[in-house]
Amino acid sequence: MHPLLSLTVFWLLPLALTLEEDSPLDCVPRRSVPYHRDNALLFREEGVFNYSTMLLREDLGLLVLGASEAVYALDLNDISKKLASVKWEVTQQQKDECKNKGKDPKLDCKNYIRILHETEDNRMYVCGTNAFDPECDYMSYADGKLTLEKKGEDGKGKCPFDPFQRYASIMFENSLYSATSMNFLGSEPVLMRSSPISIRTEFKSSWLHEPNFVSMAEMPESEMSAEGDDDKVYLFFSETAVECDCYNKLVVSRVARVCKGDLGGQRTLQKKWTSFLKARMDCPVLESQLPYIIQDTYRWCDPQRPWKDCLFYAVFTPQSDTSDLSAVCAYRVSDISKVFAEGKYKSPVPVETSFVKWVMYSGEVPVPRPGACINNEARSAGITQTLDLPDRTLQFIKDRPLMDHVIQPIGEKPLMGQLYAGSDYGAVQIPLATCGRSLSCMDCVLSRDPYCGWDKVTGKCILLSSSQSELIQNVKEGNASLCPHADPVKPLNQSIWPGGNLKLRCLSPSSLSETFWERDGRRLTSAPRLQLLRDGLLILNASDSDTGVYRCLSVERSKTGEYTTTVAEFQVSTSPVGVGDGNAILPEARTDGPSVAGLQATIGFLVVSLLALLAWNFYNGHIPLPWNCRKNREQPMEQEGGNSSVAYQHAPRLALAEDKPLVSERDNGTSNNNHAGEEAALGAAEEENDASKVNLPSVQINDESEI
């Protein structure tokens, strides 16, 4: 429905695909990348919100973006560049009427752009909620200007009244297919085709029952069809199940479809769909009692292959609040199509007095088959359009639009456990792939990003489309066995003092890997003096026996096996500082000149960092100041939206603060009072070497820290 959303979703797919198949609920992304200006381009205009509707106009090089009361034309290559915009505001009179009907003037009585489609003559069709009185118009882009034609077409049934209600729409051959509510109260849901002849669904709970519309897609099913079938339009939605035999309301996911050539019936189902059929869709998540609910879909077709091989990817979320997992299931169009073409129907049966039970219909099915498009068989019987369909067929489908069969995803299970998506107060452009984040062939292949591959010649992980040479990649299984042996990592020299502490840093490129350490080829286990941390190895109260070659290795499992890489290597030796003066390295000698100087240097540094940290906290309002708390309250959006980027920008300073031993003294003061002094001495000698900064496991300052 929204191209960019789909892009986002599929950009995230590779991350999630790395999960092991047998643990769909194991939900660690392989790598997390914080939002930052350098990662994504942002467009937003001051005071304008709800950038919710998008239309990709590659022919014009535009991303057309609908927000509240405005439409923007943005540069497709850099959406932070606005090329044109047009306002579409509600009049004061419309606003007053909306308010008089009991709607919130600030929230509801605006014109939220909801429909944006390209028409055959290269213009665009736009609809907005228009203060609970939906209206549509034509819009064109020429000479760097967006122009609305002010046609003022009725938008009922095309665009929702209520901006908070979900809807779906699609347009071809100048016919708008829309799924929304037709009335002010939102109680008349329809699937409608607007022109040339308007056709819609019946107002019956067996057709649509408190639905939440999700998306629409078309399928060119007439192509090379032996049966002379028609093209179809699919609708994905969720609704309260009429067929549920349960006491409480149960929401289920559905796919419905109609035939493009449908003109409605002659007497029965006049101006209504004669081909509206729907079926339940399942995305079985192991631990869930209640079915997951469909939230968005993406149609994927290989242009070289027939429509039958197209897939629908759908995102599902739980209907209870007990879990925040989401799931993606993939469906074959041919599986869905087959259920509608050949499956059994469900039929209501009255039980006792007022109760209706839905069971599989096993009686005689009229000919032509109810809900089928007009095909060769119908044509040979003299039925060339739906207006010719017999009442028996039409009455059957009017009463039984639901199929008995439940549509299962490929493999009968979700593709993955978790999906990360966010809402935004602007529009964000994120590249499909940033292959450059992978520095080794192993990482490039294990990330299983379908857009990236390892170029043996240049020794880089690069975009598939930007390469002529053969690349190494294995998206399906993450088989990295073709990767050349990685260049050995450069060992770093590190020194220790007897009695001092040393941290050897090692950050694995993947959150799905495990790291372990070796000293002189022998695996290290955690000990009181040797702590294996997530980001490194900590040697406490060092002695001469701690010298040697330390290697940090990372093991990651894929479907084809375990892959081990060396992430870092350190040559640890006794410090050359104090050569000729054996006492200088002994703990007792800490009152010596160099150590005191080091202590002073570190404390000075600490004071500066502390001040910086304090200033930063004031700036962000973690510590309220009389003059800025009001400002914060006035701009909650600003605060929220800037959150991640602020956190990221300050990361270097925080990292500095993180390396300060002062905090460790506070946390661990009682048990180890002299640590600070020891570390200060070490810190002074090794000031330039970032990797060797001394640290303690308990040292942690995050951006929420209270001082």
Ligand X SMILES: *[C@@H]1O[C@H](CO)[C@@H](O)[C@H](O)[C@H]1NC(C)=O
- Give 72: exposed, middle or buried? Use CB within 10 Å, 0-12, 13-18, 19+: buried
Residue 119 tokens read as: 């028409």
Among positions 224, 482, 597, 614, the unique one binding ligand X when judged by CB under 6 A: 482
Residues 259, 275: Cα–Cα separation, whole Å: 6
Among positions 541, 547, 566, 617, the unique one binding ligand X when judged by CB under 6 A: 541
Is residue 704 a contact residue for ligand X (CB under 6 A)? yes
The residues pairing with 254 across neighbouring beta strands, listed in sequence order, are: 237, 280
B/e letters for 586-612, b = 16+ CB within 10 Å, e = fewer, are eeeebebeebeebbeebeebbeebeee
Residue 469 tokens read as: 């040479």
Q: How many helices (H) and strands (E) does the chain have?
A: 12, 36
Cβ neighbours of 633 (radius 10 Å): 10
Is residue 545 a contact residue for ligand X (CB under 6 A)? no
Rounded to an integer, what is the distance from CA 659 to the centroid of its chain? 34
Task: Write down the least CB distance from residue 331 to ligand X, Å.
Answer: 27
Is residue 434 a contact residue for ligand X (CB under 6 A)? no
Residue 149 tokens read as: 């034609």
From residue 143, how far is each of 78, 147, 608 by CA, in Å? 19, 10, 56
Cβ neighbours of 665 (radius 10 Å): 18
143 residue type, one letter: D
The DSSP 8-state label assigned to residue 107 in this structure reads T
Task: Write down the least CB distance from residue 214 to ligand X, Å.
Answer: 16
Among positions 34, 164, 351, 421, the unique one binding ligand X when judged by CB under 6 A: 164
Is residue 112 a contact residue for ligand X (CB under 6 A)? yes
Length of the chain: 707
Residues 5-64 that bind ligand X (CB under 6 A): 49-50
Q: Which stretch binds ligand X (CB under 6 A): 237-245, 254-262, 313-321, 667-675?
A: 667-675
Task: Write down the least CB distance from residue 110 to ligand X, Å.
Answer: 8
Among positions 140, 395, 543, 645, the unique one binding ligand X when judged by CB under 6 A: 543
Q: Which stretch binds ligand X (CB under 6 A): 165-173, 192-200, 345-353, 479-487?
A: 479-487
250 vs 647, beta carbon nearer ligand X: 647
207's torsion region: left (phi>0), alpha (psi -120 to 50) or beta?
alpha
From residue 463, how far is each of 190, 460, 467 by CA, in Å? 44, 10, 7
Of 199, 190, 194, nearest to 167 (Cα)?
190
Q: Which stretch binds ligand X (CB under 6 A): 315-323, 444-452, 454-462, 478-486?
A: 478-486
End-to-end CA gap in the chain: 47
Among positions 173, 309, 640, 690, the unique one binding ligand X when judged by CB under 6 A: 640
Q: Which stretch binds ligand X (CB under 6 A): 347-355, 426-434, 460-468, 637-645?
A: 637-645
Is residue 673 a contact residue for ligand X (CB under 6 A)? no
Q: Which stretch binds ligand X (CB under 6 A): 82-90, 448-456, 546-554, 636-644?
A: 636-644
Is residue 667 a contact residue for ligand X (CB under 6 A)? yes
115 vs 397, beta carbon nearer ligand X: 115
Is residue 493 a contact residue for ligand X (CB under 6 A)? yes
Of 606, 602, 600, 604, nearest to 657 (Cα)?
606
Is residue 481 a contact residue for ligand X (CB under 6 A)? yes
Binders of ligand X: how many residues, by CB under 6 A?
Answer: 24
Residues 124-163 that bind ligand X (CB under 6 A): 163
Task: Write down the least CB distance from residue 480 to ligand X, Å.
Answer: 8
364 vs 704, beta carbon nearer ligand X: 704
Residues interacting with ligand X, by CB under 6 A?
Answer: 49-50, 112, 163-164, 425, 479, 481-482, 493, 499, 541, 543, 560-561, 571, 640, 643-644, 667-668, 671, 698, 704
